[in-house]
Structure 1
Amino acid sequence: MKKIFKYCALCAMAGMFVLSTSCNDLLEAEPSGKLTEAEMFGNVKSAMLIVNGLYDKNLNAMRGWEFLRTMVGTDEARYARNRHLTDNYGLDGSFDTYGDGLSGNNSGLGALWNNYWAVVVEAGKVVYYLGEDESPEAKQLVAEARFLRALNMFRLSVQWGDIPILDPALEAEYGTDRQPENVVWKYIIDDLTAAIVDLAPESSDSFRATRYAALAMLGKSLMYAPESTGLRNFAEADKCFVEIINSGKYGLVSNYKDLWNNAPFEYPKIPAVSDFPDRPDLIKTPNFKEGGISESLFTVEFTYRSDDSGYNSYQWCTGSWEFETWFAGEASWLSGYEYMVPNIFMYEDVNTEADFIHNYEFPDPVLGPQLIDRGVGVWEDGDQRRDASIRYEWYYYTDTYSEQPALSYGANNLATYKNKGTAGQFKWIQVNERKAQLADNMRDAMNPHIKKFEDFRCDVNTGLGISMFRTHKPFPVIRYADILLLHAECLSEAGNIGEAINVVQNQVRKRAWGDGTPSAWNPASKEQFRDMIMDERMRELAFEGWRRTDLIRTGKFVNLVKSRNDWVIETPGYINENKKHWPVPLSEITEFGWTQNPGYIQ
């Protein structure tokens, strides 16, 4: 943590001066410039550069597989079979099994911990040194810093429980000791309450914090604060959500799939060879806006930069390894290293009918689609969020004449194909799903995958020269649909269950069914509402980073993970209530003499 303090200050200086030294070189160096820390963080012009850098640090905390670790080990997502069994990243499989590999020595946890603290510590210095400046510019910068500090402390406490409060103003009181959750969550709530006062109501840059983003996080904090803190307050939380709703600045985009803009085309079910469509215009970057309203209250703006600092690697982590192998590299927008896939419960329907396309030979008209059932899941008939969130069918656009190469894993899965039209036109091919011929650890490769992160611009055939390792679609951290669902929870808790049902059924679910009519959603009691809203949040917010926090705050973590996570089902003996929090990195335990979280080896 001492290094984190120094790292933040020196990296901020690096943004002000032309330096050839990297941040790693600066870790143990002393500042060589004339500005003191107080002068650097307490000056509006330099603080502006630092706050701009804070947004990049927040982006860095969300950019890769470290952040995706917050999604695996839930009832929503898990490690793919080949990653779980080969464990290439150092005991990663323990994030699903909650076994002994989930310890303070786990490097993946250490990376995520450090990424969050890099934002918290530097934001704290802006608040400390610039807080006495009464100019409107300074107040806005301090409020933005408070928001980013609170957002990342929210993440830290949800995932680790007791954490230190590293605030220069409170150093004498708290030092570097871990503080109990009631102290931590009051600090988060106070930060957001103060930020709301000075944050602008809107910004021309969607990645900057606004008053409404802070209201959203304050409402969430008042709902997500552990009950033991005495700070959970649904009535006060709902005041935040109602103000957002009444502002008129936010709303639901008409079509759910447009939020993700995964492809500039619709996938046909089983097209005839003569019906291959021509390739349309390239995909555009989603902006979550429609008709003067936005569905995103706070967005992380991943962008493709020449220095590789702005992209995320979500597709690399969630795409199919079969495509990766077939293309011999990062060339297909459907390929990836298969770090994370949906659990069976997450991609199956609520009914028990065969509904998952398991195997077909295309264009063989004899075999046709082979449907199987893998069990009861979360999706209802007609819900368009299912196919917008999860890839079930494997089609690929190409203008290449090619014979399929041999693969190193199991059977060949991409059919031999030829361009059926005029040279230069892009055509469909269909992927065979011969899972029975694949090695056991590769069977996930053509099972359902996460679709939200796909970025068609990163395909070799777009000619843009961007590999799928460097996807850069913006990511909505807080969506209006989330606010509506939380508002409905607050209404239900207050006894207004009819009004709560109306919000869910006639706004969120109505959009999800498009032109169709949503199936009935009628919880009969507050208790039943609590159960049903969890599945509704799962459908609406699939893979958007809120599932673990929802499981923890509702007390459903152990029961739902134990019954729905494919790996936990196979190894149920490890998970218990202690595992809702992760172990603190051993380096911090050693340096500060902290006690490790219960259930983990020191």
Structure 2
Amino acid sequence: MKKILYTLLFASTLTLSSCTGDLDQMPHKETTSASVYAEAANYKSTLGKIYTSFVTTGQEKGGGNSDLSSNNGQDYMRCYFNLQECGTDELASTWLEGDKVGDLTYLSWDANDPWVSDMYYRIYYTISLCNEFLRNAGDEQISGFSEQEQSDIRHYRAEARFVRALAYYHALDFFRNIPFVTEADPVGAFTPPRYTAAQIFQFLETELTGIDADLLPRADCEYGRASKGAAYTLLAKLYLNAKVYVNEERYTDCITYCQKAINEGYSLEPDYKKLFNADNDKRTNEIIFPLPVDAIHTVSWGSTTYIICGAVSNTSDYQKADTYGVKSAWGMFRVRGEIPALFGDNDGRALFFTEGQTQTVDVIDNQANGYFVEKWTNLTDNGETASNTVDGGVNTDYPMFRLADVYLMLAESVVRGGSGSSRATALGYINELRQRAFGNDSGNIQDGEMTPDFILDERARELYWEGTRRTDLIRYDRFTTGSYLWQWKGGVKDGAAVDSKYNIYPIPTTDLTANPNLYNENY
């Protein structure tokens, strides 16, 4: 059983302030803050609710007693995966109409798209949970508890601020100019101001550096909670993409925080595939910040259940569900042909099911077009099925941050002109990844090959289906432009450029109606 705070004996949906005026998006009220925060022990349980808001949708198994009324009723990470992957070369969706992902797939959404709306409200629901926790975790509120209890709550408080920062980072990345609300704002009738991307960026910098002293170091941090390494990694991501967000190059800062994360003592997991199986909670050497999923305590039909069940055909004569520890195959998606083409011979990361499948995607919703991805499984290290996925979903955690990504961020920042490290160090990190992938040094590259384009391709080889591709393509100015085309980009078989407005998702119409401070610039 996973050693995790997620075994919630007391999970409560709090009385929260909404970031919108749309009452259909308000959390359901079941327990008041006064009763929840009367005992010190409840703070950890409530922190657990904050963490699980990424992978569950309600108070009961499989999302029963839901937290929000929403279009699709899916969890944060299912929304996140769709918004980061559907429109890229990494995903070919099967159920375009049934799952309502056609506009995401073809880069043609508008401010009424159900997945865009659900992602937006999921983000702000998590932010609201964090704000309510922080309103009740100030020094004055916890002064009546013992010294040890106060010390623990200060750590929890820093973690809640980290989770809020992560949610705001996702809001920045997806929506740019967004409503901003913290624990300092009033509960009830409150209309949040519109913060620019520059203001959100500054808030994230200040917040993530400000919690450093109260976050636990990796060695002391319980699995599933945010350590110093998680905050350093999030800062590195913020700085890597600063040119996109605020038109500033912050590559030196990215290098600084990559090094801080590395110095926490992480190391590469020798077996790449074990990072994505049902025993990946044991990979604390490489996984910096996981989102635990458990078939008993945090049952989810989104997150990794969606990825693993969704990547197994339900029509193929060749692919078998039990090969991946899955009791039901959903046949939701495959990968478009451009991604498998990036891999060289003997690259162990090329985990694709090809029998009976074409590499090219002539018909995007034809399950026989495009390879299925075998990267994620619900199998233990011993090759046994970890859970009954029909009843409880998978047991595989979602590695939100891992060391390999940090290595690649540092290398890209060096190549782009950042200081504080060297090309030799960056090259060493890339070749460590490739030695793991190839099993020897046959895949190593030389310094002259370490270019920005190579690193973008290497990120795809190492991180495909880990929710980074859209952000990466935007940073390289290839997501909407004609500089890189893939099959069915823009709804055209051979690919086509689309309007640059699709680099940013629109704030949903429902929130524009509720909050007069908000507007979309291009929709």
Q: 1:397-431: CA deviations, max 9, x gaps? A: xxxxxxxxxxxxxxxxxxxxxxxxxxxxxxxxxxx
Q: Amino acid of the residue matched to residue 491 of structure 1?
A: V
Of 293, 310, 314, the match for 1:317? 310
Aligned counterparts of 2:367 and 2:164: Cα–Cα separation in 1: 38
What RMSD over aligned residues (CA atoms) do the two structures have, in Å? 3.8
Q: 1:162-220: CA deviations, max 9, x gaps? A: 11111132569x94122100001111122211222101113453211111111111222
Deviation at 1:259, TM superposition (A): 1.9
- 8 Å contact 1:509–1:518 — kept in the other structure? yes
Other structure's SS at 1:476 match: strand
Deviation at 1:239, TM superposition (A): 1.9
Q: Residue 136 of structure 1 corresponds to which residue in structure 2?
A: 151
Distance 1:497 1:189, change over 3 A: same
Deviation at 1:534, TM superposition (A): 0.8
Deviation at 1:230, TM superposition (A): 5.9
Q: Residue 193 of structure 2 corresponds to which residue in structure 1?
A: 177
1:286 paired with 2:280, answer yes
1:148 paired with 2:163, answer yes
Q: 1:219-263: CA deviations, max 9, x gaps? A: 221222345626652222222221222332x101112223234xx
Q: Residue 288 of structure 2 corresponds to which residue in structure 1?
A: 297
1:57 paired with 2:73, answer no
Q: TM-score, normalised by structure 1?
A: 0.69
1:47 paired with 2:40, answer no
Q: 1:531-584: CA deviations, max 9, x gaps? A: 221111111111111111222234332237851243434385672221011121
1:245 paired with 2:274, answer no
Aligned counterparts of 2:373 and 2:335: Cα–Cα separation in 1: 7
Percent of aligned pairs sharing the same letter: 18
Aligned counterparts of 2:301 and 2:366: Cα–Cα separation in 1: 33
Q: Amino acid of the residue matched to residue 559 of structure 1?
A: T
Q: Residue 89 of structure 1 corresponds to which residue in structure 2?
A: 99
Distance 1:128 1:379, change over 3 A: same
Q: Residue 529 of structure 1 corresponds to which residue in structure 2?
A: 451
Q: Residue 555 of structure 1 corresponds to which residue in structure 2?
A: 477
Q: Residue 598 of structure 1 corresponds to which residue in structure 2?
A: 521
Of 345, 348, 360, the match for 1:381? 345
Structure 2: tracts of 5 or more residues without a match: 1-10, 17-22, 58-74, 144-149
Q: Residue 370 of structure 1 corresponds to which residue in structure 2?
A: none
Aligned counterparts of 2:104 and 2:365: Cα–Cα separation in 1: 19
The number of aligned residues is 471
Aligned 1:193-272 pairs, distance under 5 A: 193-202=209-218, 203=220, 205-227=222-244, 229=246, 232-248=249-265, 250-261=266-277
Q: Amino acid of the residue matched to residue 503 of structure 1?
A: G
- 8 Å contact 2:311–2:372 — kept in the other structure? yes
Of 166, 185, 188, the match for 2:204? 188
Q: Amino acid of the residue matched to residue 53 of structure 1?
A: K
Distance 1:334 1:580, change over 3 A: farther
- 8 Å contact 1:491–1:500 — kept in the other structure? no
Other structure's SS at 1:299 match: strand
Distance 1:474 1:63, change over 3 A: farther
Distance 1:583 1:216, change over 3 A: same
Q: TM-score, normalised by structure 2?
A: 0.78
- 8 Å contact 1:562–1:575 — kept in the other structure? no
1:78 paired with 2:78, answer no
Deviation at 1:65, TM superposition (A): 3.6
- 8 Å contact 1:126–1:145 — kept in the other structure? yes
Aligned 1:501-516 pairs, distance under 5 A: 501-516=426-441
Deviation at 1:333, TM superposition (A): 2.9
Other structure's SS at 1:558 match: coil
1:98 paired with 2:85, answer no
Name the stretch that deviates more: 223-232 or 53-62.
Answer: 223-232
Aligned counterparts of 1:220 and 1:64: Cα–Cα separation in 2: 18
Q: Amino acid of the residue matched to residue 220 of structure 1?
A: K
Q: 1:347-384: CA deviations, max 9, x gaps? A: 22xxxxxxxxxxxxxxxxxxxxxxxxxxxxx1122211
Aligned counterparts of 1:537 and 1:327: Cα–Cα separation in 2: 29
Distance 1:98 1:141, change over 3 A: same
Aligned counterparts of 1:434 and 1:571: Cα–Cα separation in 2: 16
1:66 paired with 2:82, answer no
Deviation at 1:43, TM superposition (A): 6.2
Q: Residue 392 of structure 1 corresponds to which residue in structure 2?
A: 354
Other structure's SS at 1:473 match: coil
Q: Amino acid of the residue matched to residue 507 of structure 1?
A: E
Deviation at 1:299, TM superposition (A): 0.6
Q: Amino acid of the residue matched to residue 555 of structure 1?
A: D
Q: Residue 371 of structure 2 corresponds to which residue in structure 1?
A: 448
Q: Residue 579 of structure 1 corresponds to which residue in structure 2?
A: 502
Distance 1:28 1:181, change over 3 A: closer
Q: Amino acid of the residue matched to residue 95 of structure 2?
A: R
Q: Amino acid of the residue matched to residue 593 of structure 1?
A: P
Other structure's SS at 2:350 match: helix
- 8 Å contact 1:295–1:479 — kept in the other structure? yes
- 8 Å contact 1:341–1:448 — kept in the other structure? yes
Aligned counterparts of 2:406 and 2:314: Cα–Cα separation in 1: 36
Q: Amino acid of the residue matched to residue 354 of structure 2?
A: Y
